[in-house]
Homo-oligomer: A and B are copies of this chain.
């Protein structure tokens, strides 16, 4: 089994990971530059405080050396902290959880010759709340966790980080760092900026106007409650992809504004061209929205669902994910339902319709109790 796992940085992600690993019986060592943060994480049961940034290297006994270090530090410093940890633990694999991957990798390569033991990672499992207090052991369940190993990374290091990630129920996606940064610019960082732009306009609302807020504006602005300092670092670290993406958004916005200006200045005319511009943009949104996969989107594909009984024991869910992967089936969505006091959980695995039968047979052959 994996471990001991050392987690450096006990915010939302670090603490949630600690909780998930402790639930599996994995020894977890916690560290954070802020004593209050790490004390809270330990009190929540996310692991044991071991060492502080001030403790000299090698202060802990050999037997307690971590096999994996997870750096959950802010994007601005993550590269430097990864390099420090690589130097401090010469036998450990080091990964991180930052929302950007190219800039940290560049930093690690500049600062460390041990970068073959570094595997960049990014769990897509944020919440609009941050900090240890918002941590949840099931935060990663069924969520994508991108790994972005550089070409020259030790394959054994990648395998170890993959095992860690799958043990907490996340689904591994392998990508190049640049490919990751371009993808999250569109699916994560740009929506964040849009939510902030919309929410910023709400500042000037009268109470009578604010009272008309419906589910639409609530949904659009939910993530606008996110941490400004964290998001400044993320956007700054992904400035190249973000700049390109927002310029494309502005081109569409300019078209919309020009169409509205025409309609405003000529209220009694047909203005079919202006209306066409607006209709095209809303239609493009319809099409783009359907690109989001899984049950929460409006994807035209109806997924097949396979239900699997999962013994409530450490490692069983990871074994299920491995067996699904071995069957060559891609997971579109995953939900886990636990019943209080029962020794089993029910995992509901969504897959493309064609894969349903394949998965049912493959899991049945491997001894899982399945039905659809």
Contacts and interface: CB of A to CB of B under 8 A. Distances in A.
A197 B253 contact: yes
A202 B275 contact: no
A295 B200 CA distance: 20
B203 A279 contact: no
Interface in A223-254: 223-229, 231-232, 235-236, 239-240, 242-243, 245-250, 252-254
Identify the interface centre among A175, A208, A271, A278: most chain B CB within 10 Å of its CB.
A278
Contact of A191 (B207, B216, B225, B260): B216
Contacts of A275: 232, 236
B228 A286 contact: yes
A229 to B, nearest CB: 7
A179 interface: yes
Interface string A196-209: 11111111111111
Chain A interface residue bracket vs B: 35 or more
A183 interface: yes
Given A196-B281, A281-B197, A186 B208 contact: no
A293 B216 contact: no
B196 A213 contact: no
A24 interface: no
Interface string A270-281: 010011001101
A126 B301 CA distance: 25
A284 B212 contact: no
Main secondary structure of the interface of A (DSSP, over half): helix
A281 B200 contact: yes
Given A194-B198, A200-B284, A224-B286, A218 B257 contact: no
A341 interface: no
A58 interface: no
A118 to B, nearest CB: 20
B294 A236 contact: no
Given A236-B263, A248-B201, A221 B191 contact: yes
A221 B264 contact: no
Contacts of A212: 124, 144, 146, 173, 183-184, 187-188
A288 interface: yes
A285 B252 contact: no
B249 A263 contact: no
Nearest to A207: B293
Interface of A: 103, 124-126, 128, 143-144, 146, 173, 175, 179, 182-184, 186-188, 190-229, 231-232, 235-236, 239-240, 242-243, 245-250, 252-254, 256-257, 260-261, 263-264, 267, 271, 274-275, 278-279, 281-294, 296-298
Would you list the 7 A-B pairs with minimal beta carbon distance, nearest first? A196-B285, A183-B209, A202-B288, A224-B285, A199-B285, A200-B284, A199-B288
12 contacts: A126-B216, A188-B212, A195-B220, A195-B285, A210-B291, A219-B219, A240-B264, A242-B260, A243-B260, A246-B253, A246-B256, A250-B254
Given A197-B285, A200-B285, 7 more contacts: A184-B212, A186-B202, A187-B209, A195-B220, A213-B293, A240-B264, A246-B257
